[in-house]
C-alpha cells in the first residue's frame, strides 16, 4: 500500500500503566500521518513485519536491532496509500506478532516479552488521539505484521465504535504448517518455542487454544475461520519466505541443495519445482480451511514473492501483478468499499507473466531471513 508521500517522525508511546515495552525495555513507537478532508475520520493501521524470535538466544540478538528497540529505529519513514486517511505505521519491536505477555524480566538478559501490551498501549494512544471517532478503519500488515493483522483483527474491531466500518488485510501473513524437505516440522517447532518463550497463549484465540495446543494457533489455517471481521488475504502461493524457511530451511538442507533455488526460482531443478508445486497445493488446502464467506477476499498469485503491498510497483502500477486483469490495489479497494467481492486463486507457476519474482542476494551466513 505504498504511495509517495511525506516522511513522518517516530512517535514514542510511554505507558507505564501497561508496562508496554520493546524487547530491550524501550517504549513502543509508531509513525502517524494525519488524515485530512474526507479522510479525517478514517484510519489505516499498518503493522510492521520482521519475523520473530523463538528463544532467549535469538531474542537477545534481536534486542540490539530496530526490531527489538525503539532506540534503534529509523526516525523518518515514507508512508502508504489511502492518501487522505490517518495512516499509522506501528513499529515492530517485540518479536511475537504483538502476542507476548510475560510480567517478569530476567535481570541477566533484561528481555521484556510484552508484545500484547505494546499492541494495547499503541491502540489506546491512537484512540485518545482521535481513532475513537473512526468511521472507517483498516488493520493491515505484511509478513509477521500480516499474521498479527489476523490475530488481532477481531480485537481491533472491538476497540472501535459500533458503527465503524472495520476490515483487515493480511499480506504474506498466511504461514502454513507444512513439513520441510527433510520430513521434519521446523516451523511447527519454531512456533511452539515462540509461544512458550513469549507467553503468547493467553493472547491467542480462546476458541482455538481450547481445541489444540497453543503453538498451532499461531498458524492461520487453525484459527482464521473463527475471525468474524471481514478479512482479505494477499499471498503468493509460492511465498518466497515460506519456501526459504518453512519448506527448505537451512537445518533441513545441510548440504545446500536448495540454496541456489531459494535465491532465484529460475535456478530450481525440475524436482525442486515439483516439490514447490506440492507446497502450493498444501498452501491452498490450508487457505481454503477458512471457509467460504462473501466478507472475505483473496488475491493468491503464483509469484515467487513475499509482501506485495509495500511497494508501488507491486500494489498499483501498469506492470503490477494481475489476477483477472486486476491489480492488488483495485481488488482490495473494490472489496473494502463493497463494490465487488474479489476471491481469486492463480494458476500454477509459471503461468502468470505479470509476476515480479524475487531474486535474493547470496547470504554469507546461513540464517533464516527473519
For the annotated catalytic residues, the residue numbers are 143, 239, 306
| Widest distance between CA atoms in the chain | 58
**Contacts with 46 (C-beta within 8 Å, 6 or more apart), sequence order:** 1, 80, 87, 88, 89, 90, 140, 141, 142, 145
> Is the separation of the CB atoms in 304 and 265 below 8 Å?
yes
**Contacts with 153 (C-beta within 8 Å, 6 or more apart), sequence order:** 139, 168, 227, 229, 231
What is the spatial distance between Cα 209 and Cα 198, in angstroms, rounded to a whole number?
16
Q: How many C-beta atoms lie closer than 10 Å to residue 254's C-beta?
A: 9
CA distances from 175 to 222, 243, 245, 354 (A): 11, 11, 10, 24
What is the spatial distance between Cα 334 and Cα 332, in angstroms, rounded to a whole number?
6
What is the spatial distance between Cα 79 and Cα 5, in angstroms, rounded to a whole number?
6
- Give the CA radius of gyration of the chain: 20
Contacts for 269-278: CB closer than 8 Å, 24+ residues apart:
273/349, 275/181, 275/247, 276/238, 276/243, 276/247, 276/349, 277/348, 277/349
> Is the separation of the CB atoms in 161 and 69 below 8 Å?
no
Please state whether beta strands 76-80 and 42-47 pair in parallel, antiparallel, or not at all (unpaired).
unpaired
Amino acid at each position: 500500500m505504498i504511495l509517495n508521500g511525506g516522511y513522518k517522525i517516530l512517535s514514542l508511546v510511554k505507558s507505564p500503566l501497561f508496562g508496554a515495552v520493546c524487547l530491550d525495555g524501550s517504549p513502543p513507537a509508531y509513525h502517524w500521518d494525519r488524515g485530512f478532508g474526507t479522510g479525517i475520520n478514517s484510519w489505516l493501521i499498518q503493522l510492521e513485519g520482521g519475523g520473530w524470535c523463538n528463544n532467549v538466544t535469538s531474542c537477545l540478538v534481536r534486542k540490539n536491532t530496530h526490531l527489538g528497540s525503539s532506540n534503534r529505529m529509523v526516525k523518518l519513514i515514507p508512508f502508504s496509500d489511502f492518501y487522505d486517511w490517518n495512516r499509522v505505521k506501528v513499529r515492530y519491536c517485540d518479536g511475537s506478532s504483538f502476542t507476548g505477555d510475560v510480567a517478569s524480566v530476567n535481570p541477566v538478559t533484561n528481555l521484556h516479552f510484552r508484545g500484547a501490551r505494546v499492541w494495547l498501549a499503541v491502540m489506546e494512544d491512537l484512540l485518545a488521539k482521535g481513532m475513537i471517532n473512526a468511521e472507517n478503519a483498516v488493520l493491515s500488515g505484511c509478513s509477521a505484521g500480516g499474521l498479527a493483522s489476523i490475530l488481532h483483527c477481531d480485537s481491533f474491531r472491538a476497540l472501535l465504535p459500533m458503527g465503524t466500518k472495520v476490515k483487515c488485510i493480511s499480506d504474506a501473513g498466511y504461514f502454513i504448517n507444512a513439513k520441510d524437505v527433510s520430513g521434519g516440522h521446523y516451523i511447527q517447532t519454531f512456533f511452539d518455542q515462540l509461544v512458550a518463550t513469549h507467553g503468547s497463549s493467553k493472547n491467542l484465540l480462546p476458541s482455538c487454544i481450547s481445541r489444540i495446543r497453543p503453538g498451532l494457533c499461531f498458524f492461520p489455517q487453525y484459527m482464521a475461520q473463527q475471525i468474524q471481521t471481514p478479512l482479505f488475504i494477499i499471498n503468493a502461493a509460492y511465498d518466497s519466505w515460506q519456501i526459504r524457511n518453512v519448506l527448505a530451511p537451512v537445518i533441513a538442507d545441510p548440504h545446500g541443495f536448495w540454496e541456489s533455488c531459494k535465491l532465484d526460482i529460475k535456478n530450481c531443478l525440475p524436482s525442486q519445482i515439483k516439490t514447490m508445486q506440492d507446497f502450493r497445493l498444501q498452501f491452498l488446502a490450508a487457505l481454503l480451511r477458512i471457509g467460504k464467506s462473501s466478507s472475505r477476499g483473496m488475491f493468491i498469485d503464483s509469484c515467487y514473492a513475499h509482501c506485495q503491498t509495500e511497494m508501488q510497483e507491486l500494489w498499483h502500477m501498469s506492470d503490477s501483478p494481475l489476477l483477472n486483469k486486476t491489480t492488488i490495489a483495485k481488488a482490495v479497494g473494490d472489496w473494502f468499499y463493497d463494490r465487488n467481492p474479489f476471491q481469486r486463486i492463480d494458476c500454477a507457476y509459471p503461468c502468470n507473466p505479470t509476476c515480479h519474482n524475487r531474486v535474493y542476494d547470496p547470504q554469507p551466513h546461513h540464517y533464516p531471513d527473519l
